[in-house]
């Protein structure tokens, strides 16, 4: 009922303290339900249930026809509220057995694991079972005079079960907030158990820092929460460490728009310039056969064979092992003697075996994602390794980049076209950096990654977009300073040659605070006719009758797209510059009370670059990042106006 983060945090923390006090064994499923995840990303447990199945389950469990459910959905626009309304109007002869957190969590996992023949009917049956047991006693218009169809309150288990199935709880509760609330709750609970007074703000901050650090290296509540309950929060770093089998969230780079910006940032510091390869970020995990007993948890997530345990994970922790069996088959030939376990950060790039060069990212994306046989692989790949996060039982993330690079080169053997180290040059000379950038472009790379080498700041920072890694792309130098990864929300029918396909698309950025998609532009440039036909086929299954409640968009009739979609596809887009517009909503709240006047940020001359199949919609460019780009652009323009000229590095 509030949008204020600190109030949300306080409610969340107090609630988790009650769980710790009353039913600590339910803490893990409680946290997982709050963040709308059944398990860690690498476990690959997803519900994958469409709107039509949920509507069928709501109808069958409440005795209402599918036509009535569809009519309600068209009117209300939120299946969770449709379920709550359906449940509130349903008379019950017998009071159902109350649902529990543990019971709902186990029920949802069971639904996610249903496979094979007749799986759809079994899933609907399982959903009906949960909805039939959902307590409707306090829901509906009778509950404190609340109109449930307007989502202004009124507790309803059915509403949140359905929203969980859809993948959007819409609590305004980001995972980072839950993590902080969990830390605060545990610190306060542990103090109360010891009979101490309420912990100080400093103690709370210390607990938050410990949990954030542990989670960044070991992003698995399934491991962390039981360990925390057994050993205590402040002992977590001793018992929960980075290990093979649990992928960590990768460190990311800040975009820059000029080499001089890099030199200003790293002035007086040693840094290195690595080629930025145009491929798929990958994390390779390995444990040798003779040390498997040291990693009992790894057997659940890594593939086992006579060569040991191994797996490849994507940037969002998805298991890619079935996509790259050819890589895992050759893995041991690249590892030097004495290397028993490692976690490697690298880029998987499509490779031209004839001309011995890198191929475009689109070529890599043509590989099948599952059930790939090594002998059937047509698109060969080369691994370009650039960082080592774990080696022989020890996490290396706290070491300097120079130290990690030395260990990397000592531990692996180069095999041309199969396994290579990222090309790099250690220099702070402007001309040499420009030459490196030119050479990287000639080698079919996107540009350079510039990284701090020797200071404490050069450690690996999981899940952080750090200023100690900067990226300079070849096409950044004459524009905004970064491409954007945007979510496709809608489409407009084409004209002329494009009458049978979509001719333009409505794109959005993601607001992590409100968990909404805010529109940012229409795009119709950068598409070939063949690609438009392909996109029409790909997007058609995601068509929906009306925009989702968590879409922030213009309501002016002429601005509406012809078709709305589920938020599934992410595209990389380049733009000439950014402008404020009353039509689009991206970052509008960032400019309230300023010259923006409530306008959102829009892209001028947006151009499609490529699909980002390796990114989920929630990993799209954030509205906060969009606002930051706009402010940077305005600062540069003001500076140039003061100089009486235009910076060559920033054309518009």
3-state secondary structure labels for all residues of 154-194: CCCHHHHHHHHHHCCCCCCCCHHHHHHHHHHHHHHHHHHHC
Mean pLDDT across the stretch 321-347?
A: 93
Q: How confident is the model at residue 156 (pLDDT cuts 50, 70, 90)?
A: confident
Q: At what angle do helices 51-62 and 119-133 cross, to 10 degrees?
A: 50
pLDDT at 648 over 50: no
C-alpha distance from residue 236 to each of 97, 188, 472 (Å): 38, 16, 38
pLDDT value, residue 592 = 56
- The pair of structure tokens assigned to 70 is 């569809």
Considering the candidates 276, 399, 473, 585, report the single residue annotated as catalytic. 276
Higher-confidence position of 545 and 478:
545
pLDDT at 649 over 60: no
Which domains are present in the chain?
37-166 (1.10.3260.10), 252-476 (3.30.470.30), 483-638 (2.40.50.140)
DSSP 22: H
Report the SS3 class of residue 292: helix
**Mind listing the pLDDT tens digit for each residue in 161-210?**
999 998 888 887 888 999 999 999 999 999 999 999 999 999 999 999 99
Of 1-10, 556-565, 633-642, the one with minimum mean pLDDT is: 633-642
pLDDT value, residue 480 = 53
Residue pair 549/210 in contact by the 8 Å Cβ criterion: no
Q: How confident is the model at residue 643 (pLDDT cuts 50, 70, 90)?
A: low
Reported pTM: 0.82
Higher-confidence position of 616 and 647:
616
Nearest to 540 by CA among 514, 519, 568, 521: 568
Mean pLDDT across the stretch 486-490?
A: 97
Dihedral (CA of 284, 290, 294, 297) sign = positive
pLDDT value, residue 646 = 40
What does pLDDT average to over the chain?
87
pLDDT value, residue 597 = 61
Of 85-89, 103-107, 193-197, 206-210, the one with minimum mean pLDDT is: 85-89
Residues whose CB is less than 8 angstroms from the CB of residue 189 and which lie 6 or more positions away in sequence, other chains included: 17, 20, 21
pLDDT at 1 over 90: no
pLDDT at 98 over 90: no
pLDDT value, residue 141 = 42
Helical ranges in 114-174 per DSSP H: 119-133, 157-166
- The pair of structure tokens assigned to 418 is 């199969």
Residue pair 131/87 in contact by the 8 Å Cβ criterion: yes
C-alpha distance from residue 523 to each of 36, 213, 245, 573 (Å): 31, 40, 40, 9
Q: How confident is the model at residue 261 (pLDDT cuts 50, 70, 90)?
A: confident
pLDDT value, residue 138 = 44
C-alpha distance from residue 35 to each of 90, 168, 208, 379 (Å): 30, 10, 18, 37
Nearest to 577 by CA among 509, 482, 652: 652
CA distance 326 to 55: 42
pLDDT at 140 over 80: no
pLDDT value, residue 259 = 82
Active site residue 203: no
pLDDT at 120 over 80: yes
pLDDT value, residue 650 = 31
pLDDT at 66 over 50: yes
Kindly report the backbone phi and psi dihedral angles of residue 651, in degrees, each rounded to the nearest multiple of 5, phi listed first. -95, 150
- The pair of structure tokens assigned to 487 is 């979510």
Mean pLDDT across the stretch 213-221?
A: 93
> How many Cβ atoms sit within 10 Å of the Cβ of residue 593?
8
**Mind listing the pLDDT tens digit for each residue in 566-577?**
999 999 998 878
Residue 586 C-alpha from the chain's centroid:
19
CA distance 530 to 533: 5
Residue pair 453/285 in contact by the 8 Å Cβ criterion: no
pLDDT value, residue 92 = 59
Higher-confidence position of 520 and 93:
520
């Amino acid at each position: 009922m509030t949008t204020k983060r600190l109030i949300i945090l306080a409610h969340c923390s107090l609630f988790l303290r009650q769980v710790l006090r009353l039913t600590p064994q339910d803490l893990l499923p409680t946290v997982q339900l709050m963040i709308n995840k059944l398990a860690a990303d690498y476990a690959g447990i997803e519900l994958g249930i469409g709107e039509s199945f949920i509507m069928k389950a709501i109808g069958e469990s409440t005795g209402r026809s599918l036509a009535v459910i569809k009519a309600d959905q068209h009117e209300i626009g939120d299946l969770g509220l449709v379920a709550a309304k359906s449940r509130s109007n349903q008379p019950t002869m017998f009071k159902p057995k109350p649902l529990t957190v543990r019971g709902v969590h186990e029920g949802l996992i069971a639904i996610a694991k249903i496979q094979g023949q007749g799986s759809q009917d079994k899933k609907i049956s399982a959903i009906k079972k949960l909805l039939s047991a959902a307590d409707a006693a306090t829901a509906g218009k009778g509950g404190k005079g609340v109109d449930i169809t307007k989502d202004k309150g009124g507790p309803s288990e059915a509403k949140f079960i359905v929203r969980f199935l859809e993948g959007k709880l819409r609590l305004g509760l980001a995972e980072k907030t839950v993590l902080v609330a969990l830390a605060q709750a545990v610190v306060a609970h542990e103090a109360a158990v010891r009979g101490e007074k309420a912990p100080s703000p400093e103690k709370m901050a210390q607990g938050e820092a410990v949990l954030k650090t542990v989670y960044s290296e070991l992003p698995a509540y399934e491991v962390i929460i039981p360990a925390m309950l057994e050993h205590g929060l402040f002992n977590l770093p001793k018992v929960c460490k980075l290990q093979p089998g649990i992928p960590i969230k990768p460190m990311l780079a800040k975009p820059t728009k000029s080499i001089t910006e890099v030199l200003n940032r790293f002035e007086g510091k040693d840094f290195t310039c690595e080629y930025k390869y145009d491929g798929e970020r990958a994390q390779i995990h390995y444990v040798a056969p003779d040390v498997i007993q040291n990693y009992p948890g790894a057997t659940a997530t890594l593939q086992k064979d006579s060569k040991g345990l191994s797996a490849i994970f994507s940037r969002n922790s998805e298991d890619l092992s079935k996509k790259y069996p050819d890589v895992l088959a050759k893995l041991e030939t690249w590892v030097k003697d004495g290397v028993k376990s490692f976690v490697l950060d690298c880029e998987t790039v499509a490779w031209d075996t004839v001309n011995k060069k890198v191929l475009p990212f689109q070529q890599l994306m043509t590989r099948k994602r599952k059930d790939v046989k090594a002998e059937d692989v047509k698109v060969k790949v080369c691994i370009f390794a650039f960082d080592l996060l774990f080696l022989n039982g020890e996490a290396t993330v706290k070491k300097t980049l120079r130290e990690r690079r030395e260990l990397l080169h000592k531990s692996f053997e180069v095999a041309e076209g199969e396994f290579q180290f990222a090309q790099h040059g250690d220099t702070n000379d402007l001309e040499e950096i420009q030459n490196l950038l030119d050479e990287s472009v000639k080698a079919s790379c996107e540009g350079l990654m510039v990284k701090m080498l020797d200071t404490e700041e050069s450690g690996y920072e999981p899940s952080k977009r750090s200023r100690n890694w900067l990226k300079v792309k070849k096409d950044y130098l004459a524009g905004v300073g970064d491409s954007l990864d945007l979510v496709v929300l809608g489409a407009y029918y084409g004209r002329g040659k494009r009458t049978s396909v979509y001719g333009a698309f409505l794109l959005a950025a993601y607001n992590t605070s409100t968990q909404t998609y805010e529109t940012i532009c229409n795009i119709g440039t950068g598409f070939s006719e063949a690609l438009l036909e392909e996109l029409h086929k790909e997007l058609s299954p995601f068509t929906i009758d009306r925009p989702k409640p968590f879409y922030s968009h213009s309501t002016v009739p002429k601005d509406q797209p012809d078709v709305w979609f589920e938020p599934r596809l992410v595209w990389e887009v380049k733009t000439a510059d950014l402008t404020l517009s009353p039509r689009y909503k991206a970052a509008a709240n960032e400019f309230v009370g300023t010259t923006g006047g409530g306008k959102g940020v829009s892209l001028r001359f947006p151009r499609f670059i490529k699909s980002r199949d390796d990114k989920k919609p929630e990993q799209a460019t954030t509205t906060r990042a969009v606002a930051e780009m706009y402010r940077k652009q305005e600062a540069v323009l003001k500076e140039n106006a003061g100089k009486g000229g235009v910076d060559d590095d920033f054309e518009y």
